[in-house]
A and B are shown apart, each in its own frame.
Chain A
Amino acid sequence: MDWLVELLLSAVIVFGGIFGLVGSYGLAKLPDLMSRLHGPTKATTLGVGSVLIASIIFMLWDQSTLTVHELLITIFLFLTAPITANFIAKSFLHRHGQSELKLPETGSECGWASFDKPPSADDDEPSSLTIPRRHGK
């Protein structure tokens, strides 16, 4: 029984390690910033996730306690990874400019938020909430 659990744990950790490695390799190998963003936002999620799953199983089996800290780490990871990626993408857009990147047209009245002003914003109040709300307050 112990042998089986140990085998399972090692398998999960090695699986996670491989994905962590591939994600980091992608960061080094891919050609430019936007494609490099794909490595750390995805391949590493499964890597970290596997290690956390292994941690839960180990605590259940060895200490016979159920820990939920791993779940919290997962939630915080899912909340922060896309936001970091978005910040990096935004600074990339600002650095290179619209014409150089050949961005597609928005197809709506305004351009992309990095290069255009929102329709109703005053110059004095750039922080006002401008996304239209259709449903109530």
Chain B
Amino acid sequence: MLAKLLPHPLLTVTLTIVWMMLLNAFSIGGLVLGVFLGVTVPLLTQAFWPSRPRVRNPLMIAEYGLIVLWDIVLANIQVAYIVVFKPNNKLRQHFIAVPLEIYSPEAITVLAGTITMTPGTVSADLSADGRVLLVHCLDTGDPEGTVTQIKTRYEARLKEIFE
């Protein structure tokens, strides 16, 4: 019964919270409307969610978020330094292939997004079978080291969260 009414509990919670944040002020009426939206939208869009991500370890998500935020700050400073002080002909640009150990599409999406937001890397493409990520590095002297860093710093944590 509950599973039928709430086909996608995580989406329900997310929608309600986003609605409350949009309102920007707490009121009972707003909360009721938020919960109503949070329940109906997943019901109506159920057909588009054939499978749901399994999320374990909410604490790990918080840890991951903090690490990524910190890395984004570092990434900004690093990229700003490269842009301002490094001449274009000294950039060591590389495309690197990152073999994946995670399978869930959601985890791969989060990983690709994280790679784009963090130091000197932008994810460009995925292999056709979804097992390898193509990443572009702005300036790296050690492509293998970058792959190892992505795998240990982000992928290992995502693996624990999603799988």
The answer to whether A34 touches B124, judged by C-beta atoms less than 8 angstroms apart, is yes
Q: Is B150 part of the contact surface with A, judged by Cβ < 8 Å?
A: no
Report the minimal beta-carbon distance from B14 to chain A, rounded to whole angstroms: 10
The 0/1 profile, CB within 8 Å of B marked 1, for residues 103-130 of chain A is 1111111111110111100000000011
* Size of interface on B: residues with Cβ below 8 Å to A: 50
From B126, B131, B134, B138, A38 is in contact (CB under 8 Å) with B138
Q: Which residues of B contact A85 (CB under 8 A)?
A: 116, 122-123
The answer to whether A69 touches B93, judged by C-beta atoms less than 8 angstroms apart, is no
The answer to whether A25 touches B125, judged by C-beta atoms less than 8 angstroms apart, is no
The answer to whether A137 touches B124, judged by C-beta atoms less than 8 angstroms apart, is no
Given the interface contacts A30-B83, A43-B79, does A113 sit within 8 Å of B21 by beta carbon?
no
The answer to whether B129 touches A42, judged by C-beta atoms less than 8 angstroms apart, is no
Q: Is A1 part of the contact surface with B, judged by Cβ < 8 Å?
A: no
* Size of interface on A: residues with Cβ below 8 Å to B: 61
The 0/1 profile, CB within 8 Å of A marked 1, for residues 67-84 of chain B is 000001101110110111
Q: Which residues of A contact B141 (CB under 8 A)?
A: none
The answer to whether B117 touches A116, judged by C-beta atoms less than 8 angstroms apart, is no
Report the minimal beta-carbon distance from B108 to chain A, rounded to whole angstroms: 7
Q: Which residues of B contact A95 (CB under 8 A)?
A: none
Quick one: closest A residue to B138, CB to CB? A38
Tell me which residues from 71 to 126 in chain A have a Cβ below 8 Å from any Cβ of chain B. 71-72, 78-79, 81-83, 85-86, 89-90, 92-93, 101-114, 116-119
User: In the complex the two chains form, what is the Cα distance from A45 to B70 in whole Å?
Assistant: 12
Quick one: closest B residue to A80, CB to CB? B113
Given the interface contacts A81-B116, A102-B95, does A38 sit within 8 Å of B79 by beta carbon?
yes
Quick one: closest A residue to B53, CB to CB? A135
From A72, A90, A110, B18 is in contact (CB under 8 Å) with A72
